[in-house]
Chain A
Amino acid sequence: MDFPIFHLDFLGNRALIAIIAVIHAIINHALAVGLMPVVAMLEIKGFRLMQTNPELAEKWDSLAYRILFVAFLITTTIGAMTGVGIWFSASLVNPASIASLIRVFFGAWFVEWMVFVTEVVLILLYFLTWKKLKANMVKKFKHVKYGLFLCFFSWITMAIIVSILAFMMDTGNWNNDRTFIYGFVNPLYLPQLLFRTPLAMTMGGMIALFLTLIYTRKDPDFRKSALRSIRKWVLVWGPLAAAGAMLYYYVIPTNLVGNLPVAMGTIEFQSWYSQIIVIVIVAIGLVIGMANWAYFRPNTAPAWLAAVSILLIAGLMGHFERLREFIRKPYVIGEYMYSNGLRVEDYPLLKRDGILKHANFVATKEVTDDNMIEAGRDVFILTCSRCHTANGAVNPIVGKFTVMFGKEPWQTPQLKGYIKNMHSARYFMPPFPGNDRELDALCAFIKELQTNPQPVTGAQDGLGFNKPKPAQSVAAR
């Protein structure tokens, strides 16, 4: 309401955040949190053999290095930049919510940053000094320690950010316990951490397995011992990940769980969703099966199947992330701010005065008979556009109403009746915030969208108001 509103009318704004955030979360979990301990484990295997069997030690060492190389390439480019990207996209799409969160979680983010600096310095040290610090046992021991510190700090980074995520999901506590500490002691914190940690470890293990299958083709003996170690890792963490997923699923507050089926939209999906346990078992089952296959029949184990299992866990994780985002609805910050970026406490005022009166960066400040469509567009941008596009690919408002009211020209009373009451029937929708005239204008605009499909532009395309329009005519004088 106070910020110019960035809007992507094809992709949808939430999709922008989702794409960036899911990529980041998967890279963070799989490569930073999960894979680093596997690399450290492989390095230690080699370190222990340095004196008794230097030749074999070198094999372990070079496998560990090659796996780390992949992790280093991806985490320090796509991983790091998507992390910044979450900030950028979230502050574009819902500035009011991210700004409110920062005011409460400044400390958490600041500590997070310091841990993150440590993590980056450690991964640089670990990767760039690998070749220099392998001449003797003393140097190698120092290097092994870098690796262990790196594992620790990667995990801590995740442990801190989860507190903010847990806090955002736990409804009602913003108003009562608006503190940094509460992020850690709230009931969703531990289950999330207990879910994410083994899941990350499992993913890391599978990536190591995948790379080992590729890198050790020419050395069947070493291949077998390397795969044995990795199999052990996966066999320990895989079942824990399954247990964590179930725990996380069960502790999500019951009132939120009641909302889960609608998260998935369709009834087909609902029945699919009730089988989530099966999916978890299939994903983890494939992981465990694959680990065993690779160990017992290393030469027939296909690397692509390991890749499939990684994608499957990534999918499972993405699914849980989506779920997490969805169960917050209709709020972006539980019971404090709706997903349209307006505070619950703003509603009485906005319903009384109208939202346009208190908004900035709008073309109209008041609805009149002459500006219905223009004002309706402003109301749409202010109240709907955080989640809906007009005619775009994701969540188009025209599509929604077509499903409900058919292709015949929509009538204002239909639209108005629905929008006025939607929040009671559709639990995930925030109530409409404006006054009655604005609702009329919104309906006029939605009807205009039906008969005259057009993209809705965001602030980044120019605001389209207050332009020096007369410039040409003045010049003509």
Chain B
Amino acid sequence: MFYSILLQAQTTIVQKDIPLPLPVPEWFLVLILVLMFLVHILFINFMVGGSILTLVYQLLGLRKPDYDKLAYEVAQTITVNKSLAVVMGIAPLLAINTLYTTYFYTANALTGLMWILIIPLVTIAFLLLYAHKFMWHRLENNKLLHISILATSVAIFLFVPLIFLTNVNLMMFPDKWSVVEGFLSALVLPNVFPRYLHFLNACLAASGLLLVWYFGRKDFDFEVKFPSLSRYEIRKNLYTVTFYGSVVQFLVGPIVLITLPTQGLGWNVLTVILTGASIAIVAMVWLWKEITGPVAQFGRHFTKIALTMGVVVLFMGSGRQLYRSNVIDPHRKLVAKKTAEYEKLVKEAQAEALKPKNTETATAAAHPGEAIFQMNCVACHQVNEKLVGPSMVEAAGIYKGNIAGLIGWIKQPGKKREGPAMPAQAHIGDDKIKQVAQWMDGTLNSLC
């Protein structure tokens, strides 16, 4: 009984789409959405993972100062990654706005306060990151404050993805739109947290790999910069971060799949995801060889690992888009139908409105000026009574015999009374204003 009422309450809302054609073919939008989103999220991963690793290294640096220097080095990469993350996010944002207009905007509005809070939150996180980076040496003696600055921006970075995930999750489920009440209720929809874990793991795995490369570059004087650390050990540890990050993905991934509403889970999605996962296993074997292999051969699999991981990400991103279109496409057909029906109604009503009506001619005004008055002035003026402005009889009395003065006032009014000033009415046109003035001076003054 309880459940049946709940189910009834979940009415699926079908909206009308923007009644303008798509500006580019749909496949192009999908391509931009998938590819550019992956580029965007890669830099986001670098940014979030990099900040977390900086924090970890800096905490280690409290014991062993070289780790603090290592943290400083990692912090340098965030500046670039965060700027690219933002700018690369614009293309997928543009594509999702165009392709899934009604879905995306609906989810945005339903979680609106949190959605717009992304802007100040991320701005603050960025400013704190700069404060942390550029005041590193000035805050040498106040590590607590220095680390707190970084910790605050890491905390923001850990929170903001939840807002994005809540939105892209909510947009897929029109049946939930009528029951969510603000951000929190959308946040607790079943799929959000598993995807969040998936994202965090990806951040660590991607950043680990990036830094293995960064510290492995030939022109990077690791031994000079960090005399007490071993380049091999640090890079091996970073590989390990990537490795365990990927292992955990194999546990979180199935949870993500299970918690996804089943209506979008077709064989196409599963095939793509499972293919991606099996390719990932290859990369993980190489990773394992790197971590456990001889020091002399360290790094020889790096390019292969990075490329394979790139392919895996491409598969996962495509699987995600396939799922989304599986879920949304039936609903999009309903939307298209409703839009077409509505546009038809609009055309009908327009044609109807153009037909002359007999009723109006019956109440036609005696003086053309009165008709113009009825069209343009009655919002604020009545003939005999004060409304917003004075009655027309009163106004006509003031300008008795002074039509030019009356016309002048209508075109460019001043302010003489309490209440709002009259706006200029010059847009009505000289001829019509003259007719109103004639009607006022003639007909109304003769009433007195």
Contact = CB atoms under 8 A, between A and B. Distances in A.
- Do A and B interact with each other, yes or no? yes
B91 interface: yes
A91 B97 contact: yes
A358 B342 contact: yes
B83 A120 contact: yes
A422 interface: yes
A255 B426 CA distance: 9
Q: Is the interface of A mostly helix, strand, loop or mixed?
A: helix
B400 interface: no
Interface in A88-122: 88-89, 91-92, 95-96, 98-100, 102-107, 109-110, 113, 116-117, 120-121
B182 A84 contact: no
A352 interface: yes
B83 A474 contact: no
A425 B376 contact: yes
A468 B179 contact: yes
B415 A267 contact: yes
Contacts of A346: 346
Interface in A1-18: 1-6, 16
B426 A258 contact: yes
A420 interface: yes
Interface residues of B, number: 88
Interface in A54-99: 73, 76-78, 80-82, 84-85, 87-89, 91-92, 95-96, 98-99
A255 B376 CA distance: 17
A351 to B, nearest CB: 8
B349 A81 contact: no
A372 B408 CA distance: 43
B104 to A, nearest CB: 8
Interface stretch (B67-75, B108-116, B200-208): B108-116
B116 A88 contact: yes
B2 A471 contact: yes
Given A84-B89, A95-B109, A459-B112, A345 B94 contact: no
B6 A463 contact: no
A2 B339 CA distance: 10
A77 B83 CA distance: 8
Contacts of A98: 97
Interface in B154-212: 177-183, 185
Q: Is the interface of B mostly helix, strand, loop or mixed?
A: helix
Contact count band on A: 35 or more
Contacts of A2: 15-16, 102
B80 A466 contact: no
A218 interface: no
A138 interface: no
Given A20-B119, A404-B420, A124 B342 contact: no
Contact of A88 (B24, B119, B177, B420): B119
A258 B426 CA distance: 7
A266 B423 CA distance: 10
B26 to A, nearest CB: 12
A273 to B, nearest CB: 12
Contact of A424 (B116, B181, B185, B376): B376
Contacts of B326: none
Contact of B127 (A77, A95, A470): A77
B213 interface: no
Interface string A233-261: 00000000000000000000001001101
Nearest to B381: A425
Contacts of A96: 18
A116 B123 CA distance: 18
B364 interface: no
Contact of A261 (B97, B348, B380, B424): B424
Interface centre among B90, B112, B114, B126 (most CB of A within 10 A): B112
A418 interface: yes
Contacts of A420: 379
Contacts of B401: none
Contacts of A78: 123, 127
Contacts of B112: 6, 92, 458-460
A8 to B, nearest CB: 9
A462 B178 CA distance: 9
A349 B378 CA distance: 24
5 contacts: A98-B97, A104-B23, A420-B379, A425-B377, A460-B182
Interface of B: 1-2, 5-6, 9, 11, 13-16, 18, 20-24, 79-80, 82-84, 86-91, 93-94, 97-98, 101-102, 104-106, 108-116, 118-120, 122-123, 126-127, 130, 177-183, 185, 342, 345-346, 348-350, 352-353, 375-380, 382, 387-388, 414-415, 419-421, 423-427
* Ranked 7 nearest A-B pairs via Cβ: A462-B181, A460-B112, A106-B23, A349-B349, A421-B379, A348-B353, A85-B119
